[in-house]
């Protein structure tokens, strides 16, 4: 398992989970086919990021948020725009800058001289897919303005809570190599992201394909001309979420999820391990992955497949481990290898 492919392409599997009798797959064929076709639609605009598309679909199924990390120019913005087009969802983009204010994101009260009253003007957070571009370039006060929206699916202005649309997912991006003038996200906010997906530089064949498309007239600002069309919507997502919630998890697999997370708390290389919120996140993503794979139960393989993208941003290396060249990915590999797998 690598950063380039955080988890494999979904495929129906057979067999049984530990402690669970054989059951037929629960997902209906039309729902799974619709979500599978989303990847094909996004592929009309974005080349070679199938794993990231799958991760974003899992986040939508789990009502979770995603942190996208990649150097500039790997199609992070295009990926979100293409996904929203394929799912017929609203999307807005906010460029996070040092002078961005919380009201620029959530909205604010505006005085109307004609009526002598204040009215609420919605901010860009009132959408289905909010692209928070370069979220670490804005001060903590503005970063924190997203916390209520991410956790409660609402924003409060002047003491009045205002619900956000459903679905609502924050997709935040950050550059992993440029730290000057940035404000690293605090652990409390990182923990609220369901997944952290890394977008690598493309393979040579994929990069040639990108150039070939541009040479043929592809315009990333005109996705309709690229042939991208909506193949699913909020209704399909809501039905799929209900089916994901019905995916079975045996006591043995539940214990395995807990043991993996607890093992990070005792790792000598980590100063901070996975919280109980992280354990519930790993359970949720594993269930979504099992559903996408055509099964009605979770296996330890599902947990292992989603462990890296679900947990990598919830742990913190010790300084001495960083000096020795230890990485978060290698620590998670060690943890997964050390925890007994239920059979």
The answer to whether the 1-26+247-343 and 29-245 domains have the same CATH topology is no
Cis, peptide link before residue 167, omega less than 30° from 0: yes
Helix (H) or strand (E) run with residue 132 in it: strand 129-133
| Cβ neighbours, 10 Å, residue 217 | 9
Question: How far is CA 117 from each of CA 111, 158, 160, rounded to the nearest angstrom?
Answer: 6, 14, 16
| Cβ neighbours, 10 Å, residue 196 | 22
At residue 71, the pLDDT reads: 86
DSSP assignment string, 186-200: PHHHHTT-SEEEE-P
3-state SS string over 274-294?
CCHHHHHHHHHHHHHHHHHCC
Give exposure, 5-26, as e/b (b: 16+ Cβ within 10 Å): ebbeebeeeeeebbbbeeeebb
Tokens for 284, please give them: 């949720």
At residue 27, the pLDDT reads: 45
Q: Regarding the domain delimited by 1-26+247-343, which CATH topology (the fold level of the hierarchy) does it fall under?
A: Helicase, Ruva Protein; domain 3 (1.10.8)
Given strand 91-95, what is the order of strands in its sheet? 91-95, 129-133, 169-174, 66-69, 195-198
Where are the domains positioned within the chain?
1-26+247-343, 29-245
Sign of CA dihedral 234, 238, 243, 246: positive
Residues 6+ apart with CB under 8 A from 252: 17, 18, 19, 342
- Parallel/antiparallel/unpaired status of strands 195-198 and 91-95: unpaired
Q: What is the pTM for the complete model shown?
A: 0.87
At residue 178, the pLDDT reads: 67
Tokens for 69, please give them: 């990390």
Q: What angle do CA 83, 148, 104 make, to 5 degrees?
A: 70
Residue 82 and residue 69: Cα distance in Å, rounded? 18
Mean pLDDT in consecutive groups of 10 residues from the start of the chain, 343 residues: 46 46 53 86 89 93 94 88 92 92 90 83 93 91 88 88 93 81 83 93 92 92 88 91 94 97 96 94 97 93 97 95 93 96 89
Tell which CATH classification among 3.40.50.920, 3.40.50.300, 3.40.50.280, 2.40.10.10 matches the domain 29-245: 3.40.50.300
Bridge partners of 91, per DSSP, are: 129
Helix (H) or strand (E) run with residue 323 in it: helix 319-323
């Amino acid at each position: 398992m690598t950063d380039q492919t955080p988890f494999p392409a979904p495929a129906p599997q057979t067999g049984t989970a530990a402690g669970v009798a054989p059951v037929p797959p629960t997902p209906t064929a039309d729902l799974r086919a619709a979500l599978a076709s989303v990847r094909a639609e996004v592929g009309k605009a974005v080349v070679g990021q199938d794993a990231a598309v799958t991760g974003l679909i899992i986040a939508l199924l789990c009502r979770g948020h995603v942190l996208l990390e990649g150097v500039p120019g790997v199609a992070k913005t295009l990926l979100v725009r293409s996904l929203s087009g394929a799912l017929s969802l609203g999307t807005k983009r906010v460029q996070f800058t040092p002078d961005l204010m919380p009201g620029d994101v959530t909205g604010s009260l505006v005085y109307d001289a004609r009526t002598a009253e204040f009215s609420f003007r919605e901010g860009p957070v009132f959408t289905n897919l909010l692209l928070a571009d370069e979220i670490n370039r804005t001060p903590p006060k503005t970063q924190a303005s997203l916390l209520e929206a991410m956790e409660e699916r609402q924003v409060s202005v002047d003491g009045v809570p205002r619900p956000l649309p459903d679905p609502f997912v924050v997709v935040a991006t950050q550059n992993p190599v440029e730290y000057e003038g940035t404000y690293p996200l605090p652990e409390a906010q990182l923990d609220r992201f369901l997944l952290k997906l890394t977008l690598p530089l493309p393979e040579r064949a994929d990069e040639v394909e990108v150039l070939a498309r541009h040479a043929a007239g592809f315009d990333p600002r005109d996705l309709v001309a690229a042939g991208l069309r909506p193949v699913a919507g909020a209704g399909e997502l809501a039905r799929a979420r209900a089916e994901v919630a019905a995916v079975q998890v045996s006591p043995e697999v539940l214990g395995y999820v807990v043991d993996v997370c607890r093992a990070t708390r005792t790792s000598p290389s980590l100063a901070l391990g996975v919280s109980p919120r992280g354990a519930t996140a790993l359970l949720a993503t594993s269930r979504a992955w099992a559903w996408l794979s055509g099964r009605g139960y979770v296996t330890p393989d599902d947990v292992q497949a989603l462990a890296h993208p679900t947990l990598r941003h919830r742990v913190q290396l010790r300084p001495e481990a960083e000096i020795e060249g230890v990485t978060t990915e290698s620590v998670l590999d060690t943890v997964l290898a050390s925890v007994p797998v239920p059979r």
